[in-house]
Amino acid sequence: MPGMQSAAMTLMLPAGSATDPDGQSGSATLLSDLVLRGAGSRGNRELTDHLDSLGLQRASSVGVHHTRFSVAAVGPRVLDGLATYGDIVRRPHMPLDGFESARDLGLQALAGIDDEPRQKLLIKLREQYLPWPYGRNNMGVAKELAELKLDDVKKDHANRYHARGAILAIAGNVDVPAWKAAIEQHFGDLASGPAEKIVTKAPPGNFLHEEQKSEQTHIGVAYASIPETDPDYYVARMAVEVLSGGMSGRLFTEVREKRGLCYSVSAGYSSLKDQGSIICYAGTSNERAQATLDCLVGELHRLTEGVTHAELERAKTGLKSATIMQGESTSSRCGSIAHDWWMRGRLRTLDEIKDAIDAVTVDRVNAYLKKHKPGPFTTVIVGPKALVMPA
């Protein structure tokens, strides 16, 4: 990325919520905190001080398949930090007091979900909709987290912090030969364990009302789409953009602008390797909740009738514009190429994405929508009253 001073690194390890050991939900999230509490020659405080002294902005998160450590800073400093990430992954101290502190914070975070009805809705929707264990809450289950022992997570670290299925991506101001040598030095001999085979079970249900005394009702609707690796992927994406891209998206104009039913409504596409999904969300007053759900589901069905040329052109321009802007951020670009490698086993160039968007036609979108009627739906409601799914 010429002209950039910054660089970003994304390190994905095969320790996602889906492979948390049975009865130990939340183990990957706990580990992602614990390994940062001292590693290699540095204790807890020294490690944090050292990474901050390099000016590294960093984050860690746990997804379905991976624990992800993300770092961004002025280019050479990111490379300087690599040896320490080698320590974090391979030689964490995992002290008992750090373990107890991380577990306590995890339990607090879980208890706090009741104060965050929107977050609660999205967690419950994934649990209901996705095949188990993909739908697991990455924060874990309070009872299991409370009973976790340090020895359990040490075993889990040995089992899941390895190179098989791990991905390291870099973007921006990077000296590639220097990076290759440093990766070889710090990770070259890292053990390759067998990739864990995930056996899935059917999701638990298709409707849940989670009663909560609140001023707002939070509504989630999910249904299946094609995966990102399907040849029709960009066709399906364009249909979602017509539904909810930009402010001219149908959900925004129909539910929010025209009918004033709620101030927050959206639909988004996401994908696991073998399953794509459309996840819709609306937050609204308790009185308007049923009308909002009716209107939302009505718009999902109306998509089957097709999109217009003008809608598609706006959707294409919007997605290309967003792609160009994300391509100008080293952190975004790094996250994208790590995702590409996981999902496709190769990197898409920005031009390839642009060309693929340009190649989508109204006929292809409308043929796709006719063939892929929306539903069956999984619906979750967080609020004082249950709602009725429209027929």
Of positions 10, 19, 216, 271, contacts a copy of itself by CB under 8 A: 216
- 259, 295 in Cβ contact below 8 A? yes
> Least distance from C-beta 263 to a copy of itself, angstroms?
5
Size of the site for a copy of itself (CB under 8 A): 67
- Dihedral angle computed from the Cα positions of residues 361, 362, 366 and 369, in that order, rounded to the nearest 10 degrees: 60
Beta bridge partners of 383: 211
Interatomic CA distance for residues 208 and 206, integer angstroms: 7
Binding-residue pattern over the window 54 to 73 for a copy of itself, x denoting contact by CB under 8 A: xxxxx-------------xx
Backbone torsion region of residue 306, taken as left when φ is above 0, otherwise alpha when ψ lies between -120 and 50, otherwise beta: left
Q: Who's near 180: CB < 8 A, 6+ residues apart?
A: none
Of positions 22, 96, 115, 176, contacts a copy of itself by CB under 8 A: 115
Of positions 246, 294, 343, 389, contacts a copy of itself by CB under 8 A: 246
Q: Name which of 18 and 262 has its Cβ closer to a copy of itself.
A: 262
Q: Name which of 5 and 361 has its Cβ closer to a copy of itself.
A: 5
AA identity, residue 79: L
274 forms part of the interface with a copy of itself (CB under 8 A): no
DSSP states of 12-53 = EES--GGGSPTT-TTHHHHHHHHTTS-BTTB-HHHHHHHHHH
> Least distance from C-beta 212 to a copy of itself, angstroms?
9
Neighbours of 270 (CB within 10 A): 13
- 290, 388 in Cβ contact below 8 A? yes
Q: Name which of 39 and 56 has its Cβ closer to a copy of itself.
A: 56
- Find the binding residues for a copy of itself in span 297-326 (CB under 8 A): 310, 313-314, 317-318, 320-322, 324-325
Of positions 27, 330, 336, 378, contacts a copy of itself by CB under 8 A: 330
Of positions 21, 91, 95, 109, contacts a copy of itself by CB under 8 A: 109
Of positions 9, 19, 25, 37, contacts a copy of itself by CB under 8 A: 37
Of positions 104, 151, 184, 211, contacts a copy of itself by CB under 8 A: 104
119 forms part of the interface with a copy of itself (CB under 8 A): no
Q: Name which of 277 and 292 has its Cβ closer to a copy of itself.
A: 292
AA identity, residue 184: E
247 forms part of the interface with a copy of itself (CB under 8 A): yes
Interatomic CA distance for residues 327 and 334, integer angstroms: 9
